[in-house]
Amino acid sequence: MALNLIKLCVGCDSVEDLEEWIAFRLDERRRNGEPVEQYHTTRMMPTRGAELIDGGSLYWVIKSNVQCRQRLLDIRPFTDEEGISRCHLVLDPAVIRTDWQPRRAFQGWRYLKAPDAPADLGSGNSGLVEMPPKLRRELADLGLL
């Protein structure tokens, strides 16, 4: 059974914001001649890395709700310019929308077991994907999503 991570998506107001940011960063890396891959840098190295990259995902909390995920492809430890140990969580750039699941704010990331993770949006919820982000936000604020 895959193990996942959950993290706040600081600075994004919607899944669309996250997708735009990913596209911008990938284009920037392409223009700079860098490897075209998406990663998130974190200070703490997951101790259960093998379980995470064996089919796990990073679930993003946006505006107090888990709204999407990205598959975890690799975990690469490194030391930054200041000598601090960090790691890159290498992610599939494709953003997979999920059922919304309320979450309180927290720092860093947390492990998320597969049974506790929200389901991917299926064809039965395709209307939710097509719904304007502002309307989805208002319905979530009312507790209807």
**How does pLDDT run across 57-107, given as a tens digit for each residue?**
999 999 999 999 999 999 999 999 999 999 999 999 999 999 889 999 888
If one compares 70 and 139, the residue with the highest pLDDT of the two is 70
What does the pLDDT read at residue 110?
Answer: 95
Residues 6+ apart with CB under 8 A from 39: 76, 88, 89, 90, 91
Determine how β-strand 65-79 pairs with β-strand 38-42. unpaired
Determine how β-strand 109-113 pairs with β-strand 85-91. unpaired
**How does pLDDT run across 7-62, given as a tens digit for each residue?**
999 999 999 999 999 999 999 999 999 999 999 999 989 999 999 999 999 999 99
What does the pLDDT read at residue 2?
Answer: 84
Residue 41 region by backbone torsions, left for phi larger than 0, else alpha for psi between -120 and 50, else beta: beta
What does the pLDDT read at residue 145?
Answer: 62
What does the pLDDT read at residue 138?
Answer: 74
Angle, CA 55 vertex, CA 92 and CA 28 arms, to 5°: 10
Amino acid occupying residue 6: I
Residues forming beta bridges with residue 60, ordered by sequence position: 7, 68
What does the pLDDT read at residue 10?
Answer: 92
Residues 6+ apart with CB under 8 A from 116: none
Q: Name the residue ranges covered by the structural domains of the chain.
A: 3-141
**How does pLDDT run across 109-134, given as a tens digit for each residue?**
999 999 999 999 865 555 666 677 67
Side-chain half-sphere exposure of 121, counting CA atoms within 13 A: 19
